[in-house]
Chain A
Amino acid sequence: MIHIKDISKTYNSGKHNELVVIKNVTLQIENGEMLAIMGRSGAGKSTLLHILACIDKPDRGTYELENTDITNLSEYKIALMRNRNIGIVLQNFALIPSETALSNVSTPLYFSQIPFFQIKKKALDALETIKMSSYKNQRVSTLSGGEKQRIAIARAMVNNPKIILADEPTGSLDTKTSDEIMGIFKMLNRNGTTIVIVTHDLKIAESCNRIIRIEDGVIL
């Protein structure tokens, strides 16, 4: 499903503050996997996730997603690939606080091939899946951290992506809520969605099928 080969990423290339964050990383992620990427702060795990999410581009190497080399695709086509294949969950939730839960969950559908009149139904289905449908008309700003993260997961899965990438999804949550969130990820994984979680929490990583460790931009 995902095949990255010899990718490298350097910030401020050629300048005095040049920083190599990813060095010749090769990684293969199969369909249905639940993978944890572990590493200390600054190890390069988030940059790797950004590359996997097609938000950032590697300086070198190739990235194949669903047998398509995306390194040479246009920004427009990459955005389309992201919309169709990838759901993203972030530690800071990345939700629109002034809008309702339903509106936030609907967002990816506005940029998809889904017909306009089906958007609401699909968003409600996603909220129902994570048992958040009763919050549909509530503004996100009024929700707790755990509820926000559930909404973020609902948004990530609403478009039925093949893979969900989560960057420290439980980083700002208490243990009980973290367990609930991980429970949702496991449920999604059981239903066939590939899950990649970036974390520095060993307990979270151990609940995944595979763990890879990254340090100084290199996979150990």
Chain B
Amino acid sequence: MKLIAIAYNMFRQHIKLNLMLIIELSITLLIMVYAINAYTINNTKVDILQNAKNGYYYWSFPAKISDIDNYFENPDNDKVIKLQQLKNFTKDKPWIIGVSDHDDSYIILNKEIAEKNLAPEYDQVGRVCLYDEVTLENFHYPLSEGRWFDPLPKLQEGHIPCVIGGGLAAKYEVGDIITGYENRIPKSNLPLVENRFIVIGKLRKPEYILALNNTVYIHDSDKTHYWTPVFNPEITDSLLMISPISMVNRSLGKSKQSKIDSEIVYYDKKATSGQVQKLGEFLNQGYSLDRKDLIAITSSQRDETIYTFGTVFILMFSVSFVGLVSMCILTTIKSIEKFKIYYLVGAAKIKTVAITLVFALYFLVSSGLLFALLLLYAYNADTIIFPSYYFELYPNTILGLVFVMVPIVVCSFLLPFLEISRTNIINLLKK
């Protein structure tokens, strides 16, 4: 208590400067959390694309953003026609493994809500992302436990294999059975369809999955932003499930293809370059990117994030590090005369060292608390540019924080300690 009071007196002497340092360090840590998470997320995307089992093309329609207005106004869905043409094109080509088939649905986890056909709360609903077998085998998402769909497990005793994620995933273990009632539209009086899922794996956080039916067009260019995060407040509060499309029973059957969704065409890696080129030419009727392009675009997104936020972080960290450590060492040097007096009145050197440690702790604890508050605020704000999952503390993020804080803690503790150690008390008396 007494040492805390003495250290506070030291801290109070330059209170404005010290508060600025605290604010700066906490903002630096917040930026670091964002940078690490953004890098991890983007890097995971690159890994998923790179580790795909087969060769593939990403394909979307229309080809140009300038066509999109006409496209919506046209009641005949060109996309369906084009998709049929694509399927015809691939039919007699054994080196083409398949065209993605995907959809999504909702299941209600509470039977009573489902039977009464009421709108469920977030914690009573699971969003089911449905993929065809080839897509499930081709792209492997990182898991925290359990297994992926490669090879695809068979339906056992009517249980549909599923990999789960999202806010409610923590409630379930691998092997658990989840009973859900599929009813796409609340209050629609559609028949209730029961599905029984078995959890075979859990997605590792931060969760990112390929959302082919959520293609987003970037309006300032012709490029398509093909990855869409499925994380939103709904998923954060509810359950995300991935299951094979062929196994899930649905009340409406397969939903109509969205006008602006995307497909992936898989081909054997052993296919000749001529064959792949021919496929590419066909897909060029729409918007297409091959595996290499996809990886390049995703990598550049990752690199852009790390350059932007990494640079800001390095600059701010340097200023924080130099500022904080300098403040600790300068305050110690400035307080040496005071420490000599403390020694004179009966304070052992270890106590003066303890005072400098408590002084440094004022910075570290205050910065830590402010950082926690900012992190909580950023997480709850959940804006489009800064979604909440960029501010979660994943194992990598915690490791990064430790890595950054260790030199600050060591230097702000060690340098004042060394300064005090080489102080000779007798000099004061000789004055």
Chain A residues at the B interface, C-beta cutoff of 8 Å = 46, 50, 55-56, 75-76, 78-80, 82-84, 86, 88, 90, 92, 94-96, 98-99, 103, 107-108, 110-112, 116, 119, 155, 159, 167
Contact = CB atoms under 8 A, between A and B. Distances in A.
A92 B346 contact: no
A155 B345 contact: yes
Interface string B169-197: 00000000000000000000000000000
Contacts of A75: 348-350
B346 A83 contact: yes
Contacts of B431: 92
A110 B6 contact: yes
B342 A107 contact: yes
A47 to B, nearest CB: 9
Interface stretch (B25-33, B154-162, B295-303, B421-429): B421-429
A102 B265 CA distance: 82
B346 A108 contact: yes
A83 B429 contact: no
Contacts of A94: 340-341, 344, 428-429
A111 B342 contact: yes
B382 to A, nearest CB: 45
B5 interface: yes
B345 A50 contact: no
B340 to A, nearest CB: 8
B347 A167 contact: no
Contacts of A84: 346
Contacts of A116: 1-2, 5
Given A94-B341, A116-B5, A50 B347 contact: no
B429 A111 contact: no
A107 B342 CA distance: 7
Contacts of A98: 13
Interface string B1-40: 1110110010001000000000000000000000000000
Given A80-B346, A82-B346, A107 B341 contact: yes
Interface of B: 1-3, 5-6, 9, 13, 337-338, 340-351, 425-426, 428-429, 431
Given A111-B2, A111-B351, A116-B2, A79 B346 contact: yes
A86 B338 CA distance: 19
A82 B349 CA distance: 13
A76 B344 contact: no
A108 B13 CA distance: 21
Contact of B5 (A95, A110, A167): A110
Contacts of B342: 107, 110-111
B347 A111 contact: yes
A36 B221 CA distance: 93
A159 B346 CA distance: 10
B429 A167 contact: yes
A136 B100 CA distance: 83
Nearest to B13: A98
A46 B429 contact: yes
A82 B346 CA distance: 5
A110 B1 CA distance: 9
B429 A95 contact: no
Contacts of A95: 341
Given A95-B341, A112-B346, A55 B6 contact: no
